[in-house]
Amino acid sequence: MLATTAPGEPVIPGIQRPAVIIHRQGEQDCHTTRIPAMARTNVGTLLAVYDLRYNSSKDLQEHIDIGLSRSADGGKTWESPRPIMDMGEFGGKPQKENGCSDPNILIDPSNGRIFVSAVWTHGKPGTHQWQGRGSEPGYGIHETAQFLMVTSDDDGKTWSKPKNWTRELKQESWWLFAPAPGNGIALKDGTLVMPTQGRDDEGLPFSNFMWSRDHGKNWTLGAAARKDTTECAVAALSDGSLLLNMRDNRNRKDKSETNGRALSVTSDFGKSWTVHSADHGALPEPVCMASMISHTLADGRHVLLFSNPRDKYKRRHMTIQASLDDGKTWPEKHRVLLDEGSGRGYSSLAMVDERTIGIIYESSVANLVFQTVQLAELGL
């Protein structure tokens, strides 16, 4: 088990409440852990997946595996990191040319199966999949970044070998198709939805999602919700439509009142999209990944929960906030600041129980920390 800061102990400077340290830089023979994603299994286990960046904090291409930590006690303690997706020296290339990154986790509540997807780059040293020829049109492993998935049927204890979904999912002309880091969702009718992202046939970024009605045996892609957007999160609204909440590259320059997350809604699984009323302006961002989940309160009200570095300029002020009107408004009274400092700013939310939110994020004090927030603290 890793070291923790337990309730009642002094709060870590800069962190607004007790926190469990999942990984500090250099621990477990790993330089840096990044890109967290978290979900709660059918039996209540919390699973956190993330990049194990062994040599440095650098993105792909590098020696990176997808790691896992499990918690059976609501996040109080966590198992030590271990790799669950490792392409080793595939194709005779060194590990630093077989990196896997940007995990997404999704649980099928009907059977407990856990899906973890990630993007794999083979060869292409010195490149990045979002830039230039780090990923190119085509299907081959020497051409384009690959969409991999592993599964577990025993609560995350053991995992399958990676399955390559690239040819089934990616259009050949696209420069990239990859999971969006974070979590997928299961709808009331059993449909599985996983947020995704890519670069189109012109190499331009887009955000969308894929969905399955046969427990992950086959997947269907929705159309791009927006261009010049990347990492995204999906949640169901009270009427059953789906809200896609997107990192928007335009916010690199836009620091005005229109800075904010891009928001689009679909009622037909991504065949068509409409712009949400709170698009650009309601949820400020410094251009960073964020997390969003939905939850039904004890009194039957539907709530959206969102986390990100709430700042236009820097990845600082990690905040959880809530909306009770399908994301139209995000009142200050439904907001909790977690970390006033600057970090890398990626986060992932999951319900620990019916009244407790869990969050894992890249903090100002450690690579990855875990904290809990009671819904009552958000005024819910």
**CATH architecture of the domain covering 20-367:** 6 Propeller (2.120)
| Cα–Cα distance measured from residue 253 to residue 347, given in angstroms and rounded to the nearest whole number | 23
Please write the tens of the pLDDT for every residue from 14-44: 677 889 999 999 999 999 999 999 999 999 9
CA Rg value for the chain = 19
The domain spans of the chain are 20-367
The closest alpha carbon to 233, from 139, 327, 330, belongs to 327
pLDDT of residue 16: 75
pLDDT band for 7, please (50, 70, 90 cuts).
Answer: very low
Identify the residue whose tokens are 């928001």.
Answer: 263
Pairing of strands 98-107, 182-183: parallel
Active site residues: 231
Q: What is the largest CA-CA distance in the chain?
A: 58
What is the model's pTM?
A: 0.96
Q: What pLDDT score does 4 carry? A: 40
Q: What's the pLDDT score for residue 6?
A: 39
User: What average pLDDT does the structure give for the chain?
Assistant: 95
Long-range contacts of 59-62 (CB under 8 A, 24+ apart): 59/101, 59/128, 60/99, 60/101, 60/119, 60/121, 60/127, 60/128, 60/129, 60/134, 60/145, 61/96, 61/97, 61/99, 61/121, 61/123, 61/124, 61/125, 61/126, 61/127, 61/128, 61/134, 62/96, 62/99
The residue type found at 116 is: V
Q: What is the pLDDT of residue 13?
A: 64
Whole-number pLDDT of residue 12? 65
**Tokens 């020497």 belong to which residue?**
142
Confidence of residue 8 (pLDDT cuts 50, 70, 90): very low
